[in-house]
Structure 1
Amino acid sequence: MIREKAASCHKNLSDYLRMISIKGAIYEVNFHELDELSKQLSQLRFEFNRIGNNINQVAKKVNLIDEVDQEDVEILQDEMSDIQKTIVC
């Protein structure tokens, strides 16, 4: 049973017994959910950067020609829709 516990903690028997005698217990923590959350946050950051870049391009164009055409308005509406979908999901 001790060997099985050592293996489940990814320790050899000697290391496992040493840690038990010093610390009294070994806790195994599963970071899988945290890793998955980190990946999702990274993807969200990427999407927000992409959307921000598109909005900045429209703003730059507006500042250069000092007018807004229908296409620019539609692009901004699409970007806002993407932001809303990203936040809701």
Structure 2
Amino acid sequence: MANRYRDKNIFIRVTEIEKEVIKRKSIAAGYKTINSYAHNMLLNGIIIKVDLKEILKLNTEINKIGTNINQIAYKANSSNRVTTDDIINLQLLLRDVQNIQSEMIKKLTDR
């Protein structure tokens, strides 16, 4: 691509505010011109689309786990004892949270 001749145009219209935002972003990214910034972003930029349904599902699962942890904490505080089963349950709940987080990270990074 060293000796390429760019003979095709792409035009877009932006507002004055949008132009200033693009200009600031191009300067912050170290580009000398908006054209070089736009060219690079159009060819190499990425778009991150987050599925909010998945995030809401994750949030619901974590809330359920938090409720279970609170129930164990309430039991421990009211009886002043924590059983081995309680500790095992907490460890399992923590592992569930870690698994859910790992799944979400994998889904978000596999795009």
When normalised by structure 2's length, the TM-score is 0.48
* Secondary structure of 1:88's aligned partner: helix
Distance of 2:82 and 2:76 partners within structure 1:
6
Q: Which residue of 2 aligns with 1:53?
A: 67
Partner of 2:78: 64
Q: CA deviation at 1:39?
A: 0.5
What is the one-letter code of the residue matched to 1:47? E
1:26-59 Cα distance to aligned partner (Å, 9 max, x none):
xxxxxxx55xx11101100100100000000000
Q: 1:74 aligns with which of 70, 88, 95?
A: 88
Question: In the TM superposition, what whole-angstrom CA distance separates every residue of 1:52-86 from its partner, at most 9, and x where no partner exists?
Answer: 00000000000000011011011101100001101
Greater percentage in helix:
1
Stretches (4+) displaced over 4 A: none
In structure 1, list runs of 5 or more residues that go unmatched.
1-23, 25-32
Structure 2 gaps, min length 5: 1-12, 14-48, 104-111
Give secondary structure in 1 for the equivalent of 2:73: helix
Relative contact order (C-alpha < 8 Å, sep 6+): which is higher?
2
**TM-score scaled by length of structure 1:** 0.59
How many correspondences in the alignment? 56
Task: Give distance in 1, aligned partners of 2:80 and 2:64.
Answer: 24
